[in-house]
Amino acid sequence: MSMFTKIDLSKLPPPDVVESLSYETILNDSKATLAEIDPQFDGYEWRESEPLYKLLQVFSYREMYVRQRINEAARNVMLATATGSNLDHLAALFSLSRQELDPGDPEASPPIPATLEEDESLRSQVQMAFEGFSCAGSQGAYEFYARQAFYEGNDDEDEPFKENVKDISVDSPDPGVVDVFVLSDRKDGLPSDGLIAAVEDCLNAEEVRPITDEVRVKKAGIIEYAIWAQVTVSEGVGIEETKNNAEAQLQHYTVDHHNLGDDITISGIHAALHQAGVRNVTITQLIVDGVVYCDAQTSATSEDTPLVQNITVGDDQSAYCNIDPDDPENYGLHLTFKES
């Protein structure tokens, strides 16, 4: 197990230092302050056309802007809400830096910027930083050190690439034996031999691995799936906009759950597709590792076809749905939309 309990930052209550702001409240406070200074304005009937009233509006708006800026500054020194370069500086306190996923091409026209590690990934690394204050041994420490590994190589077209660890699962099936399962950040998540070797090097370093542990680094199992669904849209609603929104949310769901041990649930698919303007969603078919799962109506006519059900994913596995538009032959989302 981990030496430290990883806190779910999303469940922390809003900090007191971040205040709720209301322009009307600030404007009324400004009027009250003016009345305290000059009693002739006590109970004064303000007209919006008056120059003094317009000045109060300007001052109140500027005050709200400044206080909002203070709110934003406060959020950006907190791990739960910091983003971008502000999060980089928080990570630097723990000697961590944002990983470069792809160097881009500064010589291209126009230049292609580098692709950097997402905020949520770096935030998670910062949370685990205390695990790295000792050698590996706990589950969290093995995970922390394994995430430092990366591999640089060339793809089938001899193009250079950098491969990073997306997720790690640690298990100890026997005393003194540690199995570390690796999910890659490339394509379906199946790590290359080069990344596996890089993780092994990180975990077997003399200052990292306890002398009594046998560490076995393994590739995560990939469960490939595709979704067929029929979406009914209310009449009068822009079907194209609804389609784009629903598909984007489903893509987000599949990417967000492409981690080790994350189940793909029927309710999750329904929730992703049930956007504004959608009346009904029917999941007509799932294909999971080549096995066809049909809905209840279809299955009623074919006893050999299993019902649609949640895709249960083990801690050493990850579910992958291909949403690459440049690979239409293997595209995993098959959605039809109709008005009703």
> DSSP readout, 200-227?
HHHHTSTTTS-TT-EEEEEEPEEEEEEE
**What is this structure's pTM?**
0.69
| Number of domains the chain is built from | 3
Residue after which a domain boundary falls, among 219, 234, 254? 219
What pLDDT score was predicted for residue 184? 95
Domain final residue pick, 178, 201, 219: 219
33: left (phi over 0), alpha (psi -120 to 50) or beta: alpha
- Give the separation between CA 113 and CA 103, rounded to whole angstroms: 7
Q: What is the reported pLDDT for 230?
A: 92
Considering the domain boundaries, does residue 57 fall inside one?
Answer: yes
Q: Between the CA of residue 166 and those of 10, 81, 334, what are the distances in Å? A: 20, 21, 26
Query: What confidence category does residue 306 fall into, taking pLDDT thresholds of 50, 70 and 90?
Result: low
Full domain range(s) for residue 185: 128-219
254 in the same domain as 301:
yes
- The pLDDT score that the predictor gives to residue 46 is 84
CB 164 within 8 A of CB 122: no
Q: How much helix, strand and coil, in percent to the nearest 5, is found in the chain?
A: 35, 25, 40
Q: What is the mean pLDDT of residues 315-320?
A: 94
Query: What pLDDT is recorded for position 132?
Result: 62
In a domain, 110, yes or no: no
Least confident of 177-186, 228-237, 296-305: 296-305
Domain assignment present for 269:
yes
CA–CA distance, 18 with 22 (Å, rounded to integer): 13
Give residue-wise pLDDT tens across range 218-243. 999 999 999 999 999 988 778 888 99
pLDDT for 84 equals: 92
- Give the whole-angstrom CA distance, residue 276 versus residue 282: 16
Q: What is the mean pLDDT of residues 40-58?
A: 87
Residue 194 has pLDDT above 90, yes or no: yes
Asked if residue 329 and residue 256 are part of one domain, the reply reads: yes
Cis before 110 (ω within 30): yes
Say if residue 150 is in the same domain as residue 237: no
Q: Residue 191: exposed, middle, or buried by beta-carbon count in 10 A (0-12, 13-18, 19+)?
A: buried
Higher pLDDT, 102 or 137: 102
Please, what is the Cα angle at 201 between 200 and 205, to 5 degrees? 115
Helix/strand/coil for 18: coil
Query: Residues 242, 259: one domain?
Result: yes
Residue 160 within a domain: yes
In a domain, 95, yes or no: no
